[in-house]
Amino acid sequence: MSETPTRKEFDDLAAGHALGALSASDAARLAALRLAHPEWEHVVAEDVETAARIADTARPVEPPIGVRSALLSAIAESPQDPPGDEEAATHTAHARAADPPARAERSPSRRWFGLAAVIALLAVLSVAGIWGVTTLTRPASVVALEEITAAPDSAHAKVALPGGGSAEAFWSGDLGRAVLVTEELPPLGDGEVYELWYVRGDTPVSAGTFDAATGTTALTGEFSTGDVIAVTVEADGGSPTGSPTTDPLFAIETS
């Protein structure tokens, strides 16, 4: 049985991922392909299971005596993910950056649209972080994501939101396109949408709207390297003025 190039590429990436050996760009490429092809997810699961067996060949070593009691003290004060999160684990991608995530470690705080508002960027996660997306809400956008991550100059960066959600942007200057993958954005009220923006210098340009707090969305219009990708909450149909009317939920710098 012959394999299509994408399936072969996926199979190679899955093995590298299970062994923890992917470069940052390959990890991002795999993440995009997993979104696009949930029917191949079992390949990743099987490879992870197989690789975990290699751990059995390491000789056991008794840990230092104090670790057990230190842990039992620590967990008494540590919160836990609530039960019912198993579905998130189904599509969890443990990607890893091969290079120090220099871009992601910058924490920008700058004037926004000339206003006094400070961008609400808290922790900027590493370039290839942990995420879980269980449904495809925009298949066409996922195709765009595949194309972007296949471009030689593709890059990505992820931010964590104060409320616990996250947003990861993927872009390619050569293709002039960008895609945003979000997880659990703050929920919208009635009559509201999320609006995407390319911010060039201080000028925000609308890049479309979407209403899913968790999903994948292609930005409309042309992306230029250096654009800041941002999302605000606006009235249905997008901001009537053509400019943001609220402070951004987050902003992602592209290089």
Partner 1 sequence: MLGGMVIDGMDVAENSDEPPIDAIAGLLVRTANGSQAAFAELYDALAARVFGLIVRVLVDRAQSEEVLQEVFLEIWQSAARFAPNMGQGRSWVFTIAHRRAVDRVRASQASSTRDARAGRRDLDVPYDPVAEQVELSVAGREVVAALNALPEAQRESLTLAYFGGYTQTEIAALVGAPLGTVKTRMRDGLSRLRMELGVTS
**Residues near partner 1 (CB under 8 A):** 11-12, 15-16, 18-23, 26, 42, 45-64, 67-68, 70-72, 74-76, 78-90, 92, 94, 96, 98
Contacts of 188 (CB under 8 A, 6+ apart): 194, 211, 213, 233
Min dist CB 139 to partner 1, Å, is: 24
Torsion on CA atoms 4, 153, 26, 85, rounded to nearest 10: -100
Work out how close the CB of 138 gets to partner 1 at its nearest, in angstroms, rounded to a whole number.
Answer: 25
**89 or 140: whose CB is closer to partner 1?**
89
Q: How many Å separate Cα 128 from the centre of its chain?
A: 8
Q: Which residues pair with 167 in a beta bridge?
A: 159, 182
| 59 vs 189 by CB, closer to partner 1 | 59
Residue with tokens 């579905």: 87
- Let me know: does 141 contact 179? Beta carbons within 8 Å: yes
The amino acid that residue 227 corresponds to is D
Residue 59, amino acid: R
Shortest Å distance, C-beta 42 to partner 1: 7
- Give the nearest distance from C-beta 182 to partner 1 in angstroms: 20
Query: Closest distance between partner 1 and the C-beta of residue 96, in Å?
Result: 6
Distance CA 14, CA 16 (A): 5
